[in-house]
Amino acid sequence: MNITYETPKKSKDLQMKLSAAVIVFLAFALQAVECPVILRTSDYLNPDSGSITVRFQPKWNETTEKLQIAYLFSVRKYLPDQRRLSGPALGINRHTDGRTFLWLYIVHPETKRDWGFYIPYQLKNGESYEITAGWKGSYLYLKAGDKTLADSVMPFRLELAPEINIGGNEKKASGIELISYRIQKPVKREAPLKADPAPSEAKVLLDSEKEFSFEFENPEKKTELSVTPENFAIRKGKRYFLNCAAPELFPQEIIAQADGKLVLNLPPILRTAITISATSGNLLKNSSFESGMNGWKEENNNPGDSAGIDSETFRSGGNSLKLQKNSCGGTLCAMSPEIPVEAGKSYLVSGFYHWEKNSLNTALSMSLFISADGKHTVASANNRHELSFPAFQTKAGEWRYAQQSIRVPEKFKGRKLTARIGLRMDGTRGTVYWDDLDFREKPPQAKLKGKVVKASEERLADTGLSEILAKKKPLEASVAIRNGSPVLLINGKQEPFVPFYAQNPEMAGTARRQGAGILVAKVPLNNWEQPTGSIWTGPDQYDFSVLDRCLSRLLSRAPDAKIIVSLYGMAYRNFAKDHPESAWITGGGERGRRFFNNVPELAYSFISDALRSEAGKFMRRLGEHLAGSLYGKAVIGIHFTAGSDGQWYPPLHPWSFKNLDYSEGSRLAVISEIRKQYGNNLAALRNAWKNPGITFEAIRLPSPAELSPERTMLDPGKGDQWLIDTVRAYHKAIIGTIDHLSKEIKAGFGRPVLALTYAPDNALMAKGELCRTQYLDGFICLPSYLRQRAPGGTPFSSGQPHGSIRLHKKLFLEEVDFRNEYSEIPDRERRLWLGMAPGVEGHFAQLRRTFGTLFASGVSGWFMTIGQTGHYTWSGPFAPIIGEVVRAAERQAEGNGMRFPVQVAVFQDNFYQAYFTYRNRLDHFLQHSRTNRNLAYSGLTFMNYLLSDLEHPGRRPAKINYFPTAASLTEKQIQWIEKNLQRDGNILIFSGDAGRFAGRNPEETLRRLTGMKIQSNPEQLVSYTYRTDRIPGANLIGIPGNSLWLQQFRGPLFHVEDPSASTVALLEGSERTGIALKRHPDWTAVYIGGSDERALTVDFWRTLAGIGNITPFGPAGDITCAGNGILMIHAATSGNKVLRWKQNADVTDLATGKAIAGKVNTLTLPMQSGTTRWFALCPVHETD
């Protein structure tokens, strides 16, 4: 085949006939090429591989103050109305300050945004440059000469437009002088991956000089895989590292047996990404302890603990390292010899451990410490949150893989740097063995992209959808109480409330096939979401066609769905510019620049009058539009969001409670709330604040420094009431905004619909106010990450005030965001952070645990996966769990299930955060980390309430009443406790500064609550780690070896000085009583000095159950939840599990829908660690 190319204009007589060979080269050395050159793409390139090299000279206008853009080439078809498709475009931007940047962009087929590189690279007039952009499979790269400037793996398949434009774009000259170009056409070669048997999937992700990565899936059989890369060199006898995130295959070093080829023997793998790279080998000497403790040192602060060599239990060779912890406090650690490292490099340590029969309060960790000049630690990392019991307890003979990585900071270049590995144990008694450790430069790991599963159902045409909707009546949604729990009514009929977050139309089809009737439609409110459009474009400017398109796409695949519209954003992009009094001001006096990193708009106040007024106006117009729209007939509610990540977080400070907004609009909103609090009584304000000169008009928000004084606890007697009031008023004002917007939504619709939002900042203070709103119908909370998500871990919902939410007729949803092998997973270290369990059944177990806990608590969750990966996560073999959960909700809605008693009532102080300073992040620790962990493992059922609902007449009574935080107890509530709870054999547990704000002497208040003499010193901070092994007879009350789990909590000193009370535990390092129990004639009191539930062991909870004649529903050490007709158990360890309840019942397995037992009150279940069983129990009423 011959290709003829005639140069335009400047060289009309010059023709070149070119063979369609591997490299097509066109060079014009004497005369520049007139731009643009336009070629047919199919003659030169395909999406699998190819490259274009452009040689040129810049022709900048050095006097202009405008941005200059020069296109080197474009294989992109530009559609102005949709700004989409297709292949790459390469160009240069010259900024007004003379800096130049190379860019290589592709329009992402899903997000419609530019994806690629934008890197600084200085290009001067009059000089020649050669730039190459190319791709091989999913690998995209950018080079200057022979130097690679950037490379990455494309998260989508490349699509190419029909034409190549070189030296210009869209047939326009680019402003450069094109000297020459060449196009490399792909060559067919042998497949780089060959497998026997053929796998379900084996696809190359990246083949570069540095690494070779591929995606692999073959869950049924072992596979012999032959790897023959094109660009990545393999040499016989050389060492390579195989890195992957699959639990079935641990990272390992391999040695090539032949040039150009590696043969891998892979176990059955559901799905993973595997990366092969060259490696220098293991840098750690004596890594498998065959030379004994040579180079390893024991670091120990308890003489009964030891680290040494064991020759009976090992993974390879004949030795392992054994850590034996016999004490209940301190840390046992084995430290490796020093290993030289370099600044700016990342390192990976890995190894295998064997760990059996350790308690819930034993923690294991693999740590890395970087030292400079042999003097001090300059960086460290540990994975203690990942290796803590019970998620990783091993079986007999089993060894588990663990790893930890660290990057050595660049700033330490030029110094002598060394690393040491620390294998540590914290907490109570236990034994662990380590073997086959490895330390090396961190090898690359390819990201596992989400697996796309094509939807099979057809999309309805717009005319067909319109005909269906025209015949329907508008849906009406409301909340009612049934069997003590809020339920959703749609057109007066109860509907299971399990929404499915349909991030794209394909997900709507998946949900429909699985029976999910309620879909959440994500709709961009503001133009952060360009180019997909936005509803609110400017002052009184709305484009509701964006909303209609979103609803049409979902309803075309699920025309019978009920829709909740989730609005992304709160105000239009330039709102803060148009309303400067509402522009967010940080504690440092600067404007909050943005809510999201990639959006350069000013952040705005959540509570200013302008925001409330304008956002309220928008919400009303939105409701009016939907009320008159065909698509709006299917809408049952609006979910609105604000702030960073949509969760009402401050700009760019998503996890910091103390980043207040200091704008004038915010200050005025706070003043308004404080006026309400004091009834506009200036004398009352001055008396409470101990400030005779203060006026309402002069009130200001406290600075970050004022919120962090030297003391930890705030004291109104020392003038701290203004700090307490302003922080409370600020957060109450946010709730005021939420309720106002809810009101406007409902007014706009003119029919009953739901108003929903995220709970601001996950704080109990906000949840207490949300429960008391007039117009809001419900709210959504996000789950915790890390250890709570791991198999065997504590559900996030176990720490939520579900009892109060139910009392106040609010719907509650937890965001169910678990990932699996079909999701987008970056690396192994984030698998458990995201809650990944291995395999389909592992994933199902996670979902059963979560929804079982929620349903038993009388609340629910919505299916959502963050990061645009939901349509992968819930597809293929993972989709059926949606149907299982929906069917369980439908069965529960029948209302004939067993009504289980509440055995423990937990009262959480919703104002506790306002009573503490921000020192030590105490407020964050108490409110964000609390999950009632040990109580969740006790087998007892419990319900969380806000302390403000202590006296609520609808609250169900419990035998054990636990007050982990109760500083805001009032005198009236204390009297209620004395009259109603200190009786009938009840057990009351108080901690810390309970009742501190009741207006009396704090120690006298604690005496009234517990009957004990308790002493305190708010100015003295102590470490609340407890021990019982030196207390005679303590095992009759608790358990020997009790210790705070994972971390030592520091707080103000409280301890018991009462000889009539029984000491349960001493404060570590002292003879002070930290936990005590006292039996009164008709009730029992327990006091714990540190406000942390985790100091109360599972055995202690079971002991209290015995004192109160309570039979736990489940075994100790596993997660058991019972309520609202649901009984769920999640096994933290393997073995036979026994479930007990009083009344005989018929039992249905919710996983299968089949009855498994009739008229029983006991179930015995053999279970493996990490599995979940859940059941519906229908009580049997005996008749004569």
With CA atoms as reference, report the closest residue to 114 among 138, 77, 85.
85
266, pLDDT greater than 90: yes
Kindly report the number of other CB atoms within 10 A of residue 377's CB atom: 10
* Percent of residues in the chain assigned helix, strand, coil, to nearest 5: 20, 35, 45
Tell me the C-alpha distance between 646 and 568, whole Å. 7
Nearest to 100 by CA among 126, 118, 73: 118
What average pLDDT does this structure show over 993-1019?
90
% of the chain at pLDDT higher than 70: 86
Residue-level pLDDT at 456? 57
3 state SS for 199-217: CCEEEEEEECCCEEEEEEE
Q: Which domains does the chain have, with CATH numbers?
A: 2-184 (2.60.120.200), 193-278 (2.60.40), 297-441 (2.60.120.260), 462-660+732-782 (3.20.20.80), 904-1107 (3.40.50.880), 1119-1179 (2.60.40.1180)
Residue 1093 has pLDDT above 90, yes or no: no
Would you call the peptide bond into 957 cis, given omega within 30 degrees of 0 as the criterion? no
pLDDT, one tens digit per residue, over 1144-1158 is 999 999 999 999 999
Q: Taking 80 as the threshold, does the pLDDT of residue 15 lie above it?
A: no
* Cα–Cα nearest to 879, from 834, 916, 847: 847
Q: How far apart are the first and last CA of the chain?
A: 96
**pLDDT beyond 60 at 713:** yes
Q: Would you call 650 helix, strand, or coil by DSSP?
A: coil
pLDDT at 555 over 80: yes
Residue 506 confidence class, pLDDT cut points 50, 70, 90: confident
| Dihedral-angle region of residue 436 (phi above 0 means left; psi in -120 to 50 means alpha; beta otherwise) | left
Q: What local confidence, expressed as pLDDT, does residue 525 receive? A: 81
- Phi then psi for 741, rounded to 5 degrees? -65, -35
Q: Which amino acid is at 239?
A: R
Per-residue confidence (pLDDT) for residue 925, from 0 to 100:
42
- Where is pLDDT greater, at 897 or 188? 897
Rounded to an integer, what distance in angstroms lies between the CA atom of residue 1127 and that of residue 1149?
Answer: 10
Angle at 1037 between CA 1031 and CA 1042, to 5 degrees: 60
- Does the pTM exceed 0.85? yes
The amino acid sitting at 379 is A
Highest mean pLDDT among 303-312, 600-609, 622-631: 622-631
- Of these ranges, 44-53, 456-465, 473-482, the one predicted with the greatest mean pLDDT is 473-482
Measured distance CA(515)–CA(780) in Å, rounded: 22
Q: What HEC string does 1097-1142 produce?
A: CHHHHHHHHHHCCCCCCCCCCCEEEEECCEEEEECCCCEEEEEEEE
- Whether the per-residue pLDDT at 473 is higher than 70: the answer is yes
Q: What is the 3-state secondary structure (H, E, C) of 1064-1097?
A: EEEECCCCCEEEEEEECCCEEEEEECCCCHHHCC
pLDDT tens per residue across span 1061-1081: 998 888 877 889 988 999 999
Within 13 Å, how many C-alpha atoms sit on residue 751's CB side? 19
Decide which of 680 and 179 is more confident: 680
So what's the pLDDT on residue 168?
A: 77
Q: Hey, which of 208-212, 745-749, 1114-1118 has the most confident mean pLDDT?
A: 745-749
Range of 451-465, 926-940, 1150-1164 with top mean pLDDT: 1150-1164
Q: Say if CB 776 and CB 810 are below 8 A apart.
A: yes
> 171-175, 442-446, 658-662 — which is least confidently predicted?
171-175
Q: Is the pLDDT of residue 84 over 50?
A: no
Q: How far apart are CA 838 and CA 822, in angstroms?
A: 11
Per-residue confidence band for 765, with pLDDT thresholds at 50, 70 and 90: confident
Closest by CA position to 599, among listed 619, 570, 626: 570
Q: How do 778-781 and 754-758 pair as beta strands?
A: parallel
Please tell me the least confidently modeled range out of 213-222, 344-353, 461-470, 1070-1079.
461-470
Q: How far is CA 896 from the centre of its chain?
A: 36
Lowest mean pLDDT among 61-65, 107-111, 418-422: 107-111
Mean pLDDT value across residues 232-261: 93
pLDDT band for 172, please (50, 70, 90 cuts): low
Give the residue with greater pLDDT, 889 vs 505: 889
Half-sphere exposure for 459 (CA within 13 Å, toward CB): 14
pLDDT at 1053 > cutoff 70: yes
- pLDDT tens-digit readout, 871-889: 678 888 999 999 999 999 9
Closest Cα to residue 575, out of 588, 594, 596?
594
Dihedral angle, C-alpha 1090, 1094, 1098, 1100, nearest 10 °: 0
pLDDT at 650 over 90: no
Tell me the CA distances in angstroms from 689 to 487, 677, 714, 719, one per residue in order: 43, 13, 13, 6
Kindly report which listed range (260-264, 462-466, 655-659) carries the lowest average pLDDT score: 655-659
Confidence of residue 426 (pLDDT cuts 50, 70, 90): confident
Q: Which of 241-255, 377-391, 422-436, 682-696 has the lowest mean pLDDT?
A: 377-391
Q: Which uninterrupted H or E stretch holds 424?
A: strand 417-427
Contact between residue 1173 and residue 1129 where contact means Cβ atoms under 8 Å apart: yes
What average pLDDT is seen over the chain? 85
- Whether the per-residue pLDDT at 203 is higher than 90: the answer is no
Q: Among 69-78, 199-208, 760-769, which is the least confidently predicted range?
A: 760-769
Instruction: For 788-836, write each residue's pLDDT tens digit.
Output: 778 888 776 667 889 999 999 999 999 998 888 888 877 777 777 777 8
Looking at residue 230, its pLDDT comes to 87
pLDDT band, residue 93 (cuts 50/70/90)? very high
Q: What is the pLDDT of residue 1094?
A: 63
> Looking at the predicted structure, is the pLDDT value of residue 907 above 60?
yes
Q: Work out the pLDDT band at 574, boundaries 50, 70, 90.
A: confident
pLDDT over 80 at 744, yes or no: yes
What is the mean predicted confidence (pLDDT) over 601-605? 82
Residue 394, pLDDT > 90, answer no
The reported pLDDT for the residue numbered 385 is 56
Can you tell me the mean pLDDT for 663-686? 97
The residues, ordered by sequence, that sit 6+ positions from 1058 with a Cβ below 8 Å of its Cβ are 1012, 1013, 1014, 1073, 1076, 1078
Letter for the amino acid at 792? G
* Residue % of the chain over a pLDDT of 90: 52
Higher pLDDT, 107 or 21: 107
